[in-house]
Structure 1
Amino acid sequence: MRKTLLSLGLLALASTSVLAQTQAETSAPVTCGGDLRAFLEGVKVEAVARGVPAEDADRALAGASIDNKVLSRDRAQGVFKQTFTEFSKRTVSKARLDIGAQKMREYAEVFARAEQEFGVPAPVITAFWAMETDFGAVQGDFNTRNALVTLAHDCRRPEMFRPQLLAAIDMVKHGDLDPETTTGAWAGEIGQVQMLPEDIIAYGVDGDGDGHVNLKKSAPDAILTAARFIQSLGFKAGQPWIQEVIVPDQLPWEKTGLQPGMTAGDWFALGVKPRDGNTAHTSLESSLVLPQGRKGVAFLTYPNFNIYLEWNQSFIYTTSAAYFATRLAGAPPYQSGNPDPGLGDAEMKALQEKLQALGHDVGKIDGILGAGTRTALQKEQLKLGLPADGWATPEVLDAL
């Protein structure tokens, strides 16, 4: 959950979840590194202080080891350098749409319960289910306990992963995690919708009535737990999340992108037209996003789109997942338009360096057209008298 992925497999964590417990939340400093045995003893002491019986903590940590493959993944996380059309056409495939429709029929009663209790419709849950693990087919083969021990022991982000390790020990106590056999993603996510231990404890739902929350094997558990978690992120029942639109030739392009200040009605008044003709949500706050500039596909995003940004920080992933959900809900394929050619990896890095030299905070020079780079680019496009749509082209690079 809340990570990026490539094709049908799992990729690197881009987590913004409940996982991000800050060190400031506890009075004691987070310990990391050093002798593994001493580190594990410290974890045990903390777990026991939280109410875990010593024998359960011992069982959870017995035989724990550092997994160097986890460290390799953490140091070289996969990133999105594909365009929206490239990534979305690979991930929102006909096969996945067909399977998603079949899953919604197969678990219709469970999805109905999810919407009734948590306000989250089946297409939203099903799209995440598909994007995360191909409906449970690709859940990851890293030992979950060892992955969390490795990342908690490592001193790069212990404040993020030590709480997850302690939560995993709590799951062992309740019989919901086997320290020897439970596997998942390299960063500790478990199950068909890839959730971290703290999130499973906080939002887990026993959907099949067996007394346990088993996100690896139980589709009802995964569906209802995902629904409850999505609700916790702020999803509003009955509201849209994304809507494809057609844009006119002239707009205040500097107002586009994920920024506040406009409603859907404001955009409609400027000539933006929904492809489905639905203008019922004029009062909702809305952003006009142009994944590949003003000549490519265009979407209005609504407040419910924020749950996608909470799930994953990647703009390409979140937009694709939201679009996937609209397809499962009956929307047609988007009109890709005729976007201007973008930049290659080296050119994108050169653009970021130029923007940084001009005083903009674009974050890491990574060749990714992320939110920071797009915002900086819009400001420079406006200065140059170019349409400020945030799309990086050779023309913009030359102008800079």
Structure 2
Amino acid sequence: MRKALLSLGMLALASTPTLAQTTAPVACGGDLGTFLEGVKAEAIARGIPAEAANHALAGAAIDQKVLSRDRAQGVFKQTFMEFSKRTVSKSRLDIGAQKMREYAEVFARAEQEYGVPAPVITAFWAMETDFGAVQGDFNTRNALVTLAHDCRRPEMFRPQLLAAIEMVQHGDLDPAATNGAWAGEIGQVQMLPEDIIAYGVDGDGDGHVDLKKSAPDAILTAAKFIQSLGFKAGQPWIQEVTVPDRLPWEKTGLQSGMTAGDWFALGVTPRDGNTANSALEASLVLPQGHKGVAFLTYPNFNIYLEWNQSFIYTTSAAYFATRLAGAPPYRAGNPEPGLSDAEMKALQEKLQALGHDVGKIDGILGAGTRTALQKEQLKRGLPADGWATPAVMNAL
């Protein structure tokens, strides 16, 4: 099962705003029965038959385990190399290749209709649920009731609960038996009810969108959803490169303004020798600094950031897709050791004291911390690669 952060990353997608998200604040908390009556009334006002709304909410209960997961969310404290080596395993690569052969016709349809190649879909399928083997054991209806009733993020979860009721109406969700992730995602590619309604595809022709049991439904729905995030057919998403000893390191990171050709002119070299995408905008990302593995990320990489906001997850998923497409394992290089959790928090506190907005002091080398660190590295004449090391800590 994917970790809580992955669920949060999917929640960050929250498809187009609904009426509940754009008008008055959503009621939350208080007596559960009263809350459910309010949800039921809203569902009926949206055109859902009262019978379906009653069936969907009958027996609904608060799940304390969901609240515990929500309160105790962790985020990635592993390095890219640690996480990618664990998730992009030989076993998963072998199964992924087998799945692409088994469902070759479905994947061909996905690429023809939505422009999304099989390796991209398959990598998400693997990382989300191990190809459907581990989909979560939380009752979906109760998870969404719990999170919509809770007053932390009702504007995010109440629309998902209403969408789940609509799925019950269509016969695509059993309120008593459908299980999934703690935050309400369902099926082999872990999607939220609103997105299933918006992008669901009946791939096997049985009249329903069943992301739990039907691989064709999951593959085509994922393809349509990825297309909606802006994936451009025929374009790359990530490319391993080697870098010279000297570069304007402060220009590295997930930012725009340079093309792949600009990077090539500076001595960045594609490992596969392919420079055909020189005109595309590209960012040079160094997950573990300028001495470690390096990638150029292209506009299609943005769909990974939409799918999940964790840099470590997205880079690993994009790399996974290149492996399924035939790329060799990355060259790890010799990255300098990183910081411990306590050291990283101390670094964030120091950066904050220097006037940088690093967000929450959480021990995570996220985008805000990397950007702040690059600025301080540049001031001190250090390679501004955004990688936190003991040497950088000492320099601060």
TM-score range, shorter chain: over 0.9
CA deviations over 1:130-188 (Å, ceiling 9, x no partner): 00000000000000000000000000000000000000000000000000000000000
2:79 matches 1:83? yes
| SS state at 2:33 partner | helix
Give the Cα–Cα distance (whole angstroms) in 1 for the partners of residues 132 and 152 of structure 2.
30
2:186 matches 1:193? no
CA deviations over 1:254-295 (Å, ceiling 9, x no partner): 000001110000000000000000000000000000000000
- Aligned twin of 1:377: 373
- Aligned twin of 1:175: 171
| SS state at 2:284 partner | strand
| SS state at 1:244 partner | strand
AA partner of residue 266 (structure 1): D
Instruction: Note the 1:213-224 alignment, pairs <5 A.
Output: 213-224=209-220
- Aligned twin of 1:13: 8
| SS state at 2:203 partner | coil
2:386 matches 1:390? yes
| SS state at 1:13 partner | helix
> CA 1:118/1:52 → structure 2, altered by over 3 Å: closer, same or farther?
same
CA deviations over 1:240-264 (Å, ceiling 9, x no partner): 0000000000000000000111000
Instruction: Note the 1:1-400 alignment, pairs <5 A.
Output: 5=2, 12-14=7-9, 15-19=11-15, 21=17, 25-400=21-396
For residue 78 of structure 1, report the CA deviation from its aligned partner.
Answer: 2.2
> CA 1:23/1:175 → structure 2, altered by over 3 Å: closer, same or farther?
closer
> CA 1:75/1:99 → structure 2, altered by over 3 Å: closer, same or farther?
same
Taking structure 2 as the reference length, the TM-score comes to: 0.98
Give the Cα–Cα distance (whole angstroms) in 2 for the partners of residues 113 and 365 of structure 1.
46
Give the Cα–Cα distance (whole angstroms) in 1 for the partners of residues 135 and 246 of structure 2.
46
Once superposed, what is the RMSD of the aligned Cα atoms? 1.4
Give the Cα–Cα distance (whole angstroms) in 2 for the partners of residues 133 and 336 of structure 1.
27
Give the Cα–Cα distance (whole angstroms) in 1 for the partners of residues 172 and 57 of structure 2.
15
For residue 73 of structure 1, report the CA deviation from its aligned partner.
Answer: 0.3
2:238·2:295 contact (CA, 8 Å) conserved in 1?
Answer: yes
For residue 79 of structure 1, report the CA deviation from its aligned partner.
Answer: 1.1
| SS state at 2:295 partner | strand
Alignment identity in percent? Answer: 86
Matched residue count: 395
> CA 1:79/1:91 → structure 2, altered by over 3 Å: closer, same or farther?
same
> CA 1:206/1:24 → structure 2, altered by over 3 Å: closer, same or farther?
closer
